Amino acid sequence: MTYTRDQVVLDRLAQAARQGSISRRSFMNAAIAAGVTASAATGLWTTSAKAMPKRGGTYRVAQHDGNTSDQHDPGKYQSNYEISMTHTFRSYLTMINADGTLGGDLATDWSATPDAREWTFKLNSAATFHSGAKVTATDVLASMNHHRGEQSTSAAKSLLESVEDIVDNGDGSVTFKLGAPNADLPWIMPDYHLPIVPANADGTANWQSGDGSGPYRLVENEFGVSSRFVRHEGWHGEGAYFDEVVFLAINDPNARQTALVTGDVDACSLLENKTLALLGRDPNIEVDNISSAQCITMPMHVDVAPFDNNDVRMALKLSINREELIEKITFGAATIGNDFHHSPAMPYFPSEIPQREYDPDKAKWHLQQAGMENLEVSFSTADSITTGAVDAAILYAEHAKAAGITINVVREPNDGYWSDVWLVKPWCMVTWGARPTPDVMYTLAYKDDAAWNESHWKNPEFNKLLLQAKAELDDAKRAQMYHDMGMLARDDGGTVIPYFPNFVYGRRSNVKHVGQLSPAWQMDGYRHASRWWFDG
């Protein structure tokens, strides 16, 4: 690195900061990487940044997916309302920054042994619960053990499967001991199931009290209706600009939108893509459209006829017009898929793999190879999977007609879809939340012995690479491994991947953010309450 190049980087950074398109955290990281000391970088930030976040105000949010049956047990978190809440009043060991990098929350620092079998997290000594008690290693142990062991009912149990032991080192740090190497353990910690809650005297987790160490303290709450928070003055992080935060559970997309238009709320999660263009014309409203690692998948059971024939799988992968799907179903708010479950929003994305195009003629050729011209298959879907899920399936069926394939779209009831259709019907539509790294995603749903190996795909080479990549701390080598795995899944795997839907949400124009938004969840990775502020 030459001095001039660093200077150019710094100039660009300063300009980005002035335009408010970069967060302070990413600014600091980049500036330090360019060779500036931390204190100099802080000075640079304050002089460059035009508008410093202002404090104050009551921030009202229309949040979707709020249910009467929501609750506080992190192991049973499922709805978006719960996830939005937990990021507001609880905190995690690590978090996904606005620019998509990994940062510390309760942990200030973390490191692994060279074999990636032991990870040590150093806790922030300034962190306190709303009750005033310090956050200690005991609390971390209790919170993590809540998801482990025979008796655990937590949905995050499988995430921590490889953790054999967690040790309190007595110096304000904890060590995770793993049965198998895992270079990505710190990336698992921001999973919404894993907040740190206070420990009871007997070492169990006290999730019932609703106490947490997050930026805001929960003062009033009625699940399925509304929640009110006030700022936690002793919060260990930076941000939490609002004095008070109010969540309203609004499940109807039209009601959320109207509330935003009339100014009854300041921000609103999950807007309907259909109305985006119309909403964008309102000068009082800003729409955030963030590409993400969420994914729509269409897994075929590769051990069931006719999907056991790779020519059939290829034919189906070739007979979907992804561009038209993105244009008509998501109204452009999606990133195109390429039949391997690795989004451009994840690290190590192999961008040189060629994009698969709609090619009915080639699909026909594959069907001839398989001896299955005039293929007829059933495809299950349901309205609740994603906006326009059923429409997407119908459009796909229309595309496939050109290749002589008849797809019978079956609309299943929303209710019970995950227990009766997913993993049961040989070909169905699935939605996956954003996972932070390709390793987490592949381990969950593509590893041969994974409980959710939704396509029953068992490719020995893919699985060998997956295990190797877990233990590999060299980035370049890892990237090459993920490239090879992507190619295998794309050309042999059982999953059609049409697109990665964007996160689309809105706010009134007087609500500001740094210009970069986390791709982990809706609403800046659901850290909007601590990262956004009112301007004027």
Partner 1 sequence: MFVIVYFAALLVGSSVAAYFNQRTPFLLLFTLTLVSMVLGIVGGRGALEMVAIGAGVLAAAAMVSYGFKEFLIQMAEGDAGAFLKGGSTLLTALAVFTALTLMSFWFGWGITEIFVGLIMLTLILAPLSPETAKELRTAPLTAAFGMFVIFIYAVLGIFAPWIAPSGEAEVITQAFAPADENLLLGADQLGRDMFSRIVYGARNSVGLAIVATLSAFILGALAGLLAATKGGWFDQFMGRFADVIMSIPSLIFSLLMLSIFGPEIHVIIIAVAIIYAPRVFRLTRAVAGNVVVMDYIEAAKLRGEGTWYLIRKEILPNSTAPLVAEFGLEFCFVFLLVAGLSFLGLGIQPPTADWGSMVRDNATLISFGDITPLIPAAAIALLTIAVNFVVDWMLFRSSGLKEN
Partner 2 sequence: MGDIARLIGQRFGLGLIILLAISIIIFFMVELLPGDIAQAVLGQSATEDNLAALRKEMGLDKPAVVRYLAWLKDAVLFDFGNSVVTQEKVTTIIGDRFLNTLFLAAYAAVIAVPVSIALGVVVALLRNSIFDRVANVVTLSFISSPEFFLGYILILYFSVNWGLFPAIASISEGMNFLQLLERTFLPALTLVLVVMAHMMRMTRAAIINLLASPYIEMAKLKGTPPWRVIVSHALPNAWAPIINVIALNLAYLITGVVLVEVVFVYPGIGQALVDAVSKRDFPVVQACCLIFASTFILLNLAADIGAILTNPRLRHPK
Contact 61, 528 (CB under 8 A): yes
User: Of 258 and 468, which CB lies nearer to partner 1 in the complex structure?
Assistant: 258
User: Of 189 and 316, which CB lies nearer to partner 2 in the complex structure?
Assistant: 189
State the residues that interact with partner 1 by CB under 8 A: 253-254, 257-258, 261, 272, 274-275, 278-279, 327-328, 331, 382-384, 388, 390-391, 394-395, 397-398, 409-416
User: Of 44 and 156, which CB lies nearer to partner 2 in the complex structure?
Assistant: 156
**Which of partner 2, partner 1, none does 345 bind, CB closer than 5 to 8 A by kind?**
none
**Which of partner 1, partner 2, none does 250 bind, CB closer than 5 to 8 A by kind?**
partner 2
The residues that bridge with 427 in the sheet, in sequence order, are: 300
Of residues 402 through 421, those in contact with partner 2 by CB under 8 A are 414-416, 418-420
User: Of 27 and 417, which CB lies nearer to partner 1 in the complex structure?
Assistant: 417
CA 259 from centroid of its chain's CA atoms: 26
Query: How far apart are CB 264 and partner 1 at their closest, in Å?
Result: 14
Residues 457 and 445: their CA atoms lie apart, in Å, by: 9
By CB under 8 A, the count of residues binding partner 2 is: 42
Contact 205, 199 (CB under 8 A): yes
User: Of 250 and 465, which CB lies nearer to partner 2 in the complex structure?
Assistant: 250
Determine, following the binding rule CB under 8 A, whether residue 206 of this chain makes contact with partner 2.
no
Residues 452 and 447: their CA atoms lie apart, in Å, by: 9
Q: Which of 249, 316, 325, 489 binds partner 2 (CB under 8 A)?
A: 249
Residues 468 and 437: their CA atoms lie apart, in Å, by: 15
CA 386 from centroid of its chain's CA atoms: 15
**Which of partner 1, partner 2, none does 451 bind, CB closer than 5 to 8 A by kind?**
partner 2
Helix axes 310-318, 360-370, angle to 10 degrees: 170
Query: How far apart are CB 411 and partner 2 at their closest, in Å?
Result: 15
Helix axes 460-471, 438-445, angle to 10 degrees: 140
Q: Nearest Cα to 193, choosing from 49, 274, 82?
A: 82
Query: How far apart are CB 382 and partner 1 at their closest, in Å?
Result: 6
Contact 523, 434 (CB under 8 A): no
**Which of partner 1, partner 2, none does 359 bind, CB closer than 5 to 8 A by kind?**
none
User: Rounded to the nearest 5 degrees, what angle is found at the Cα of 83, between the Cα atoms of 243 and 101?
Assistant: 85
Q: Nearest Cα to 233, choosing from 328, 309, 126, 337?
A: 126
Query: How far apart are CB 280 and partner 1 at their closest, in Å?
Result: 11
Residues with Cβ < 8 Å from 154, sequence gap 6 or more?
74, 75, 76, 146, 147, 193
User: Of 434 and 514, which CB lies nearer to partner 2 in the complex structure?
Assistant: 434
User: Of 244 and 391, which CB lies nearer to partner 1 in the complex structure?
Assistant: 391
User: Of 295 and 363, which CB lies nearer to partner 2 in the complex structure?
Assistant: 295
**Which of partner 2, partner 1, none does 274 bind, CB closer than 5 to 8 A by kind?**
partner 1
Determine, following the binding rule CB under 8 A, whether residue 448 of this chain makes contact with partner 2.
no
Determine, following the binding rule CB under 8 A, whether residue 219 of this chain makes contact with partner 2.
no
Alpha-helical (H) ranges within 179-229 are: 185-188
Q: Which of 10, 22, 197, 259 binds partner 2 (CB under 8 A)?
A: 259
Q: Nearest Cα to 301, choosing from 436, 114, 428?
A: 428
Q: Nearest Cα to 511, choosing from 262, 218, 284?
A: 284
The 10 Å CB-count burial string (b at 16+, else e) for 378-416 is ebbbbeebbbbbbebbbbbbebbeebbbebebbebeeee
User: Of 11 and 420, which CB lies nearer to partner 1 in the complex structure?
Assistant: 420
User: Of 309 and 386, which CB lies nearer to partner 1 in the complex structure?
Assistant: 386
Q: How many CA atoms lie within 13 A of 441 on its CB side?
A: 26
Of residues 46 through 85, those in contact with partner 2 by CB under 8 A are 67-71, 76, 78
Determine, following the binding rule CB under 8 A, whether residue 456 of this chain makes contact with partner 2.
no
Determine, following the binding rule CB under 8 A, whether residue 169 of this chain makes contact with partner 2.
no
**Which of partner 1, partner 2, none does 278 bind, CB closer than 5 to 8 A by kind?**
partner 1
**Which of partner 2, partner 1, none does 395 bind, CB closer than 5 to 8 A by kind?**
partner 1
DSSP letters for 245-300: EEEEE---HHHHHHHHHHTSSSEES---GGGHHHHHT-TTEEEEEE--S-EEEEEB
Determine, following the binding rule CB under 8 A, whether residue 223 of this chain makes contact with partner 2.
yes
Query: How far apart are CB 431 and partner 1 at their closest, in Å?
Result: 14
Query: How far apart are CB 142 and partner 2 at their closest, in Å?
Result: 18
User: Of 222 and 357, which CB lies nearer to partner 2 in the complex structure?
Assistant: 222
Options 41-49, 153-161, 349-357, 500-508: segment touching partner 2 (CB under 8 A): 153-161
Determine, following the binding rule CB under 8 A, whether residue 274 of this chain makes contact with partner 2.
no
Residues 103 and 83: their CA atoms lie apart, in Å, by: 19
Residues 72 and 154: their CA atoms lie apart, in Å, by: 12
Q: What residue ranges bind partner 2 (CB under 8 A)?
A: 67-71, 76, 78, 150-158, 222-226, 248-252, 254-255, 258-259, 261-262, 264, 414-416, 418-420, 422, 451-452
